[in-house]
C-alpha cells in the first residue's frame, strides 16, 4: 500500500516567520507530486504539480522542491502571513490521475 | 477559471435514506471526475474515478452498489449514497480534471451526517 506522510501535523508560527514542511512518498514508480492549500470551508487550491527530480517551483512567497530519488518534497513559506493559515496537502499522483494524499500539515500564523 | 461547485454543502439524513451529491465544473469541461471521502483525522481517500459516459471505476473496498456514481455530462457528476448508515457519515469531496495537465480542481466538499 502506497503511503504518503507529511510532517509536522501542525505548526504554529508568528507573522513574519519562515517555515517549511515535508512530504515523504515512495521513490519507486514516481509520476507526479502535488501540493494543495486548503482553507477551512473552501475548496483545496492547487499550488504546484512537480514531475522532475530536482524541480523547484515558486508562487509568490511559497516555493517547493522535489527529490524523487529519496522520496521527499519540501514546501517553504517565506515571511508567513495570517492569510497563509491553512492546511497544506501533498499528494502522490500516478499516470492515471489518481491522487494519494498525506494527512496534511495544519499551519496557523499568528499576527 | 477552474471552478468546481458541490451541492449540498451539508446534509443530515436518517438511516436508510439515500442522499445525492452533485459535483459541477462551472467554467470548463471535465473529462474525468474523482470522488474522495475524508474521515476525521484521516487523509482524503479516493473512492472512485468517473469518466463521462462510462461506468465509474471504484477503489478497493468501496461498494459500487452503495455509492452510485453517474457522470452524465462533461460538467456534472453525481454521487448517491444509497441506504445510508451512520458509518457513512463523512466528508465527501469531488475533483475534476481537463483544464491544466495533471491538475485536479476540487469542489468545497459535502458534510454528510447520518442519524
DSSP helix/strand/coil, B17: coil
Tell me how many degrees the CA angle B75-B94-A87 measures, rounded to the nearest 5. Answer: 135
| Beta carbons of A101 and B45 less than 8 Å apart | yes
pLDDT digits 0-9 by tens, A27-79: 888 899 999 999 999 999 999 999 999 999 999 999 999 999 999 999 999 99
Nearest to B106 among A43, A93, A98 (CB): A43
Per-residue model confidence as pLDDT tens digits over B78-106: 999 999 999 999 999 999 987 666 789 99
Q: Which residues of B touch A (CB under 8 A)?
A: 4, 32, 34, 36, 41-46, 49, 93, 95, 97, 100-109
Chain B residues within an 8 Å CB radius of A100: 46
Kind and range of the H or E run holding A67: strand A62-67
Which residue ranges in chain B fall short of pLDDT 70? 99-101
Amino acid at each position: 500500500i502506497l503511503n504518503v506522510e507529511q510532517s509536522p501535523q501542525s505548526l504554529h508560527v508568528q507573522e513574519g516567520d519562515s517555515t517549511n514542511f515535508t512530504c515523504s512518498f515512495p521513490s519507486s514508480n514516481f509520476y507526479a507530486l502535488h501540493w494543495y492549500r486548503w482553507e477551512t470551508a473552501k475548496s483545496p487550491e492547487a499550488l504546484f504539480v512537480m514531475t522532475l527530480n530536482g524541480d523547484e517551483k515558486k508562487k509568490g512567497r511559497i516555493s517547493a522542491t522535489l527529490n524523487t530519488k529519496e522520496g521527499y518534497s519540501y514546501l517553504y513559506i517565506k515571511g508567513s502571513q495570517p492569510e497563509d493559515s491553512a492546511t497544506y496537502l501533498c499528494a502522490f499522483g500516478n499516470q492515471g490521475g489518481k491522487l494519494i494524499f498525506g494527512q496534511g500539515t495544519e499551519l496557523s500564523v499568528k499576527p | 477559471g477552474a471552478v468546481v461547485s458541490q451541492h449540498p454543502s451539508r446534509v443530515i439524513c436518517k438511516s436508510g435514506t439515500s442522499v445525492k451529491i452533485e459535483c459541477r465544473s462551472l467554467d470548463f469541461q471535465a473529462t474525468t471526475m474523482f470522488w474522495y471521502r475524508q474521515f476525521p483525522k484521516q487523509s482524503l481517500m479516493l473512492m472512485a474515478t468517473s469518466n463521462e459516459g462510462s461506468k465509474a471505476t471504484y477503489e478497493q473496498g468501496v461498494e459500487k452498489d452503495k455509492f452510485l456514481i453517474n457522470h452524465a455530462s462533461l460538467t456534472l457528476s453525481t454521487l448517491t449514497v444509497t441506504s445510508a448508515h451512520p458509518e457513512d457519515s463523512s466528508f465527501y469531496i469531488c475533483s475534476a480534471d481537463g483544464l491544466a495537465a495533471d491538475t485536479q480542481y476540487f469542489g468545497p466538499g459535502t458534510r454528510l451526517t447520518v442519524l
